[in-house]
Amino acid sequence: MARASNLPVDPARIAEVIDGLAKLTEPGRPYTRRAFTALFPAGRDFLDGRFRAAGLETRVDAAGNLIARRPGKKPGLGTIMLGSHSDTVPDGGRYDGIAGVAAALEVAQALADKGIDLDHDLEIVDFLAEEVSIFGVSCIGSRGMAGVLPADWLSRERDGLTLEQGIRDVGGDPARIAGEARKDIAAFLELHIEQGPVLETERLDIGVVTAIAGITRIEIIVDGRADHAGTTPMGSRADALAAAARLVSGIEALAKSLSEGPGHFTATVGEFAIEPNAANVVPSRARLLIDARAEERNAMDLFAASVDQLADGIARETGTTIAPPRRISENMPTPGDPLLLGVLDAACETAGASHRRMASGAGHDTAFMAKVTRSAMIFVPCLGGRSHAPEEFAETDDIALGAAVLFNAVIQLDETLSQESV
């Protein structure tokens, strides 16, 4: 494995940014720096200082994203953008999002160190509120930059603060978001910790992300009949929970079988409730919510059709009524841009990084950037796959190797995309 000594980037500078942000956490609550809370601007100020110290021009765009810019030699060629997010979940980690911002900044610094001037403008972005925010929604900055932030979200309110005011408080201008959707970005790349165990288990340096899985949430309501638990014979019941339990097992089996297919697939019954939930009453109703994630759309369609069939069969066998499973939310998978995936594979080779292609089961800002430009992302390993917890950990050298991959990819893209636009 290639290690820090021969990389074009400086691991110490990456660690300094990550450590600096880690110190900005709610007292006694590592690591909590949520968007739209009092601490968030402190993180932004810290980053703004580091960006400026690296000789970059900074600004906050209409959607509240902090952007640092390194002008290219050929104005009008477009922007190569790198970045991720600095907000955390409550009791989150030091690396989720932050590693990507630190690595992006390091790419800009390494270019400056080596006196490399790109043709394209290079921008480093800290997206606003990637995590589910106090307003109950996520990826606010990247949705805004892509021009797909739903206008009615701006009036969402929490503790007297509207999202609209929250964006203004970080320096954004909600009225200008729609008009400022970016059309000048030539390519977007994001480095992120994997948040899963695959790279660590396989002892690989980099995951080149083939797609961000689409997420479908399916609600199922099972109606049985409430009866006395002591007097109703076992053969005369319509037990909603017993039927729902069979559904959960069936869903797990379906998901396991689909996960053995070519693309990433997971399905989880993450919400489950029964009524009346009393010791001496046969359950009359159960509600399940499935979170299903698929890299490939046809796997999701197959899953949904199989769940319909499963529910039908179980209702018949158990004497319960199961309404047709209802898709309550759905978004499509986002494939990585093929040109960028090829450039990233080659950038791994140049950096001496072992790599594989893999899907992302988690959502990321890249999914929204893909609506306006060529986009792709890379993963670096994290300890035990842990994330969204204080135990989240990634080795500085692993992040630095990822930054070196980004560095190589940016140089290659600057050349390739320049030729393309001639």
Residue 256 — left, alpha, or beta (φ > 0 → left; ψ -120 to 50 → alpha)?
alpha
Least spacing, CB of residue 134 vs Zn ion, in Å: 17
Measured distance CA(333)–CA(352) in Å, rounded: 30
Choose between 245 and 389: whose C-beta lies nearer to Zn ion: 389
Tell me the closest approach of the beta carbon of residue 96 to Zn ion, in angstroms: 4
Nearest Cα to Cα of residue 398 among 87, 95, 85: 95
Structure tokens given for 219: 């609600």
Using CB under 5 A as the criterion, which residues of the chain lie in contact with Zn ion when the complex forms? 96-97
Nearer CB in complex with Zn ion: 195/284: 195
Beta-strand relationship, 334-335 and 206-212: antiparallel
Question: What is the residue-wise DSSP string for 297-326?
Answer: HHHHHHHHHHHHHHHHHHHHHHT-EEPPPE
The two structure tokens encoding residue 200: 């660590």
286 burial via Cβ count (<10 Å: 0-12, 13-18, 19+) = buried
Our CB check for Zn ion shows the closer of 190 and 239 to be 190
Nearer to Zn ion, 96 or 397 (CB): 96
Q: How far is the CB of 221 from Zn ion (least distance, A)?
A: 33
Least separation in angstroms between residue 389's CB and Zn ion is: 13
Beta carbon nearer to Zn ion, 79 or 360: 360
Q: By C-beta, is 97 or 166 nearer to Zn ion?
A: 97
Rounded CA separation 400/380 (Å): 9
Residue 61 or 96 having the CB closest to Zn ion? 96
CB-nearest residue to Zn ion = 97
* Dist. CA 206–CA 354, nearest whole Å: 6
Q: Which residues of 149-173 are buried (b: 16+ CB within 10 A; e: fewer)?
A: beeebbebeeeeebbbebbeebbbe
> Closest approach of Cβ 261 to Zn ion, in Å?
26
CB of residue 85 to Zn ion, shortest distance in Å? 6
In the complex, minimum distance from the CB of residue 88 to Zn ion, in angstroms, rounded to a whole number: 9
